[in-house]
Copies of this chain bind each other. A is one copy, B any other.
Amino acid sequence: MQYDTTQATRQAQRNDQSHPVSADLIAVVIAVTNGEPRVLTIEQAQALPSGPFELDHRSLQSGLRAWVERQTGHLLGYIEQLYTFADRDRTGDARVQISISYLGLTREEQAERSPTHGWRGWYEYFPWEDHRVGAPPILADILMPRLLAWADVAEDLGVRRDRRQRVAYAFGLDDRGWNEELALQRYELLYEAALVPEATRGRDNGIPPAIPGRPMTADHRRILATGIARLRTKIKYRPVVFELMPPAFTLLQLQRTVEALAGRLVHKQNFRRLIEQQDLVEETGETMSDTGGRPAKRFRFRQTVLAERTVAGTKLPLSRA
């Protein structure tokens, strides 16, 4: 190899200066059961499955799978990386902690009750995110007043305006409309405004902010918000919903799953049109007549789509010219 020398130099330089860090793997594992999106938790629903990346892990992904299985007994299927961040103050010692988070999609199998781990509805952690039956009252009654108050306590006029604008944008004030993909921005605003317990934890300022929504260990709720936002974005351009569905399903079941994730309702006829014209599903031949009305055809996901369907939205006027 022609550049052996320089590479060796850089490698040596690197090893001299590198410090040991420890790497944590954290999993946001999602399933949708009975039209409710659920997340796999441990420690009485206050933490996400996680553990250190170890030497005998073949890869980051397999390390994550091993930890999830060890802590919850659950085998993961589809996973994708979410985000990596570093935190010095987590463990207390001098070592820097790096956290690598993943999003996993599965189906909730036998619902075994365990005292330590289990599935929890994700709207328990983010009650303001469920708009399927309209905007939750806590938004107008509790969150918005406190957020706007927080914006207004700022000394600087510019900061005040900036805060108001970010709140208005993230929560769809005025005529902006609710955007379900901004779940992370909303949590971050609540954190910044010290309206969630995680923000004031450790500091002894006494007054815990009484905002609805269950907190989590460390920054796990923030990671969960990241996963929710990612999933809400992704279902719109990739057929990932099917990872959450049973082998056969009706179009309404599929729609309810999407609605559960998005936290809002969709137009039934248009949903069907979209699914069918994209050739995502095929009929199984059977019908379901459980739900009280006309029997629904059962569908299955067309495996063919898996490879090619990586499409990608286009917003630029790209042409062949």
Interchain CA distance A271-B15 in the complex, whole Å: 49
User: Assuming A22-B18, A169-B310, is B83 touching A316 (CB within 8 A)?
Assistant: no
- Whether A18 pairs with B307 at a CB distance below 8 angstroms is no
User: Assuming A316-B266, A317-B266, is B86 touching A60 (CB within 8 A)?
Assistant: yes
- Whether A24 pairs with B14 at a CB distance below 8 angstroms is yes
Q: Mark A251-281, 1 if CB is under 8 A from B, else 0.
A: 0000000100010111100110110000000
Interchain CA distance A317-B268 in the complex, whole Å: 9
Interchain CA distance A319-B178 in the complex, whole Å: 11
Interface residues of A in 46-63 (CB under 8 A from B): 46-47, 51-55, 59-60
Q: How large is the interface on A (under 10, 10 to 19, 20 to 34, 35 or more residues)?
A: 35 or more
Interface residues of A in 63-108 (CB under 8 A from B): 81, 83-86, 91, 93-96, 98, 100
A269 to chain B, nearest CB (A): 8
Q: Is A142 part of the contact surface with B, judged by Cβ < 8 Å?
A: no
Interchain CA distance A6-B41 in the complex, whole Å: 13
The dominant DSSP class at the A interface is mixed
Q: From the candidates B23, B93, B258, name the one contacting A316 in the complex (CB within 8 A).
A: B258
- Whether A313 pairs with B313 at a CB distance below 8 angstroms is yes
- Whether A96 pairs with B318 at a CB distance below 8 angstroms is no
Interchain CA distance A258-B83 in the complex, whole Å: 27
Q: Is A201 part of the contact surface with B, judged by Cβ < 8 Å?
A: yes
Q: Is A11 part of the contact surface with B, judged by Cβ < 8 Å?
A: yes
- A contact set with B: CB distance below 8 Å: 1, 3, 6-7, 10-11, 14-15, 17-24, 43-44, 46-47, 51-55, 59-60, 81, 83-86, 91, 93-96, 98, 100, 162, 165-166, 169, 179-182, 185, 201, 217-218, 233, 235-237, 258, 262, 264-267, 270-271, 273-274, 307-308, 310, 312-319, 321
| 25 A-B residue pairs with CB within 8 Å | A3-B44, A3-B46, A10-B47, A10-B217, A17-B54, A18-B52, A18-B54, A19-B53, A21-B23, A21-B98, A53-B86, A53-B98, A59-B86, A60-B98, A81-B83, A162-B307, A165-B308, A169-B308, A169-B310, A235-B316, A236-B315, A266-B321, A267-B319, A267-B321, A271-B316
